[in-house]
Structure 1
Amino acid sequence: MSTSTEAGTGAGTPAGPVRADCLADAGGGIAFRVRGTAAGDAGALVLRRRGGGPGEELRLPLTEASGGVLRAELPASAVTAEGRWTVTTDTGRVVEPGLRDLRAVVDRTPGPGPLTVRVPYPGAGGRLVIRCWLRTAHAEAGHLDVSPGGTLSVTGRLHGTTLGPDARAEARTPGPDGAERVHPVSVTGEGGTFAFTLPYAPLAEAGAGEERTWELWLRPAAGADELRIARILDDVWDKREIFRFPEHRTPAWHAVPCYTADNELGIRLTPRRP
C-alpha cells in the first residue's frame, strides 16, 4: 500500500498534483477518491489503454463527496480489455496514485462468469496506471516446487473451465529456425485443480544452445482452447522482481522459473559460457 499527501482543493487552479486513492473490490471494481482538483476543474477521470485505438477509453464521472474530495467509480461490469490503462482527468491533467487499498483482491476466489482483474499501481513518472486482465477461462499458477534434481512441479487452479482426463501441459518456445518447439507433459487433478512436473533437461536439449524462455500452457481437455498459465489473482501487478526462484545449474546450462511482465509463468534456460 502506498501513501499520499493531500493537495489543496477549491475554486481556481489546484495548488498541487491530482491524486486518487483507490479502493479495489473482489469483483474487479475500483472506487476513486480524488484530491487536487475542484468540481469546476474536471468532470471525469479518463482511462485510456496503452496501444489502444482512439475510441478505447472510459470516462468515469466525478461527483462531489464529503471531506473536499471527488469520487468516481469503475464498476466491475465495465469492459476493459487486457493491458495497462493510464488515468488522467478530462482536462488532461495526470493523475498520481494515492492510497491503494488492494486487500480484497489478494487470493480471492472468483465467482462464475468472465474473470475480471484490475490492479492500480504507480507507473512510470509516478502516474496512476491500472493493469487489467479479462479472461473467460484462466489457469492460475499456485505453488511451484523447484527440485534439486532438475524439475519444476506446478500446482494451480482453473477458473471458467474444468480439467478433463486427457489434459496436458506444454512448454513452448520458438526454435532457431523459426519453428515452435513444444514439450508436452501429463497433468493430474480434477475439477478446478491441476498439477504437473516438467523436467528441464529436454528443454535444454531442444534449445540448441541458445538462451530462451519457455512459455507454460495448459490444455484442460482434448479440443479445448489452451490457456497461458499465469498468476494474476493477487495485488502484484509485475512479479518479475518480486517472485524469485532457485536456479538449477549443470556444466552446460542453468534453468530458473520466472514470471513475465504480464505475470505469465515460464522457464528461462541459459547456456553456460566458458
Structure 2
Amino acid sequence: MTTPRAGCAIDSQGRITFELPAAHGQRLLLRLRPKKGEPEKTLHVLDLDPVGEGRAQAVLGTDPALAEGRWDVYLLDGSERTRLRPGPRDLRALVGGHLRERPGPLAVRVPYVTKDGYLALRTWLRPAHAEAGRVDVAGGTLRFAARLHGASLLGGAEVRLRRRGEGTVRSLEPLAAEDGRSFSFTVDDETLDPGIWDMFVQPAPEAPMIRLARVLDDVADRKHVFVYPGATAGKVVVRPYYTVDNDLSLEVTRAG
C-alpha cells in the first residue's frame, strides 16, 4: 500500500490548509508528540471536505492555538491511523514573518518534514517573544539584534545570560530603539564560565523574562542551518547557537 501524501499551504495568520486524495469517512488527525516514555495526551481532529477532482481539504484555523511542540499528521479512518508523507508545502507567507508586528500571546506554526520523511508541524506558543535577528562576530565581541513582540522595553530593562544547570546570571544593558521594541546588546565578557548560557530579556524590573529565539519564518529547525563561529575573549571561546527549539544560547568553552 502506498503511503498517502498531504500537501499544505499556510497563510500569514497561521491558518493551514491540507489537501490530499478524497476518501469517504476519513479525517485528519494531529497528534502532539509526547516526550520519550510518556503516553500521548493531546489530539486534534479535522474534517476532510471534498473539493472536486478526487481531492479533499482540511483547514486548521487559528483558534484554538496549538500547544508548543511537534505535531505529527495522520489520516484517520475509523480507529485506524496512517502517518502522512509530505506533498507540496507552500510556506511563502512565513518568509517575512519577522517583519510583522505580533501581539501576545504569540502562536507560530511551521509545517516541516521529519528526518524519517513524514509531515509534521512545529509550533510555538509563548506569552511574549523576543525575535533574534542579526548576529555579528568580531574578534572577541558578539553583537546581537532582536525585536520584542507582545511586550516593550521600559526603564530598567536588562538582557540576562543564565548558565544552564546552576542558574548563575549575568546582566547586560540593552540598547533600545525609539520604538521600544527593537534592541541590541553586546557580549564580550571573558569571565563567563564554561558551559551553556541561555539568553533572555527582561523588559522591565518586575516583568517575566522572555527567551530570545528565532521562530518567525519558514525554518522549523535551525540548529544545523544557522551556524556561527566563536568569539575568543581572554581564555574562553563564546559561540552563539540555536537549540533544538530555535532558542538562542551561548556555548562557552576554554580557548585552545
Normalising by structure 2, what TM-score? 0.90
Assess if the C-alpha contact under 8 Å between 2:8 and 2:16 holds in 1.
yes
Alignment partner of 2:111 out of 88, 98, 120: 120
Assess if the C-alpha contact under 8 Å between 1:30 and 1:75 holds in 2.
yes
- Check 1:113–1:249 CA distance in 2 against 1; reply closer, same or farther (3 A cut): closer
Instruction: Name which of structure 1's ranges 62-71 and 255-264 shifts more when overlaid on structure 2.
Output: 62-71
Counterpart secondary structure, 1:31: strand
Residue 2 (structure 2) aligns with = 16
Assess if the C-alpha contact under 8 Å between 2:240 and 2:248 holds in 1.
yes
Q: Which ranges in structure 2 are unaligned for 5 or more consecutive residues?
A: none
Residue 161 (structure 1) aligns with = 151
Relative to total residues, which structure has the larger strand share, 1 or 2?
Answer: 2
1:146 has 2:129 as partner: no
User: Which runs of 4 or more aligned residues in structure 1 lie more than 4 Å from their structure 2 counterparts after TM superposition?
Assistant: 52-55
Q: Which amino acid aligns with 2:66?
A: T
Offset of 1:252 from its aligned partner?
4.0
Alignment partner of 1:132 out of 109, 123, 133: 123
- Check 1:16–1:110 CA distance in 2 against 1; reply closer, same or farther (3 A cut): farther
Equivalent-residue separation in structure 2 for 1:46 and 1:170 (angstroms): 40
Residue 5 (structure 1) aligns with = none
Q: Which has the larger radius of gyration?
A: 1
Assess if the C-alpha contact under 8 Å between 1:39 and 1:63 holds in 2.
no
Equivalent-residue separation in structure 2 for 1:260 and 1:229 (angstroms): 11
Assess if the C-alpha contact under 8 Å between 2:27 and 2:46 holds in 1.
yes
1:256 has 2:242 as partner: no
1:229 has 2:212 as partner: yes
Alignment partner of 2:23 out of 11, 18, 39: 39
Counterpart secondary structure, 2:218: coil
Assess if the C-alpha contact under 8 Å between 1:152 and 1:197 holds in 2.
yes
Q: Which ranges in structure 1 are unaligned for 5 or more consecutive residues?
A: 1-14
- Check 1:110–1:26 CA distance in 2 against 1; reply closer, same or farther (3 A cut): farther
Residue 66 (structure 1) aligns with = 52
Counterpart secondary structure, 1:180: coil
Q: CA RMSD in A?
A: 1.8
Equivalent-residue separation in structure 2 for 1:246 and 1:128 (angstroms): 32
Q: Which amino acid aligns with 1:233?
A: L
Assess if the C-alpha contact under 8 Å between 2:33 and 2:71 holds in 1.
yes
Assess if the C-alpha contact under 8 Å between 2:68 and 2:125 holds in 1.
yes
Equivalent-residue separation in structure 2 for 1:107 and 1:223 (angstroms): 32
Equivalent-residue separation in structure 2 for 1:183 and 1:56 (angstroms): 37
Equivalent-residue separation in structure 1 for 2:166 and 2:82 (angstroms): 46
Offset of 1:199 from its aligned partner?
1.4
Offset of 1:197 from its aligned partner?
0.9
Residue 202 (structure 1) aligns with = 191
- Count of matched residue positions in the alignment of Structure 1 and Structure 2: 246
Equivalent-residue separation in structure 2 for 1:113 and 1:217 (angstroms): 17
Counterpart secondary structure, 2:53: helix
Q: Which amino acid aligns with 2:252?
A: L
1:56 has 2:46 as partner: no
Equivalent-residue separation in structure 1 for 2:135 and 2:255 (angstroms): 24
Deviations 1:143-168 (A, max 9, x none): 112121x1211111111111112110
Equivalent-residue separation in structure 1 for 2:119 and 2:20 (angstroms): 12
Assess if the C-alpha contact under 8 Å between 1:27 and 1:116 holds in 2.
no
Residue 107 (structure 1) aligns with = 96
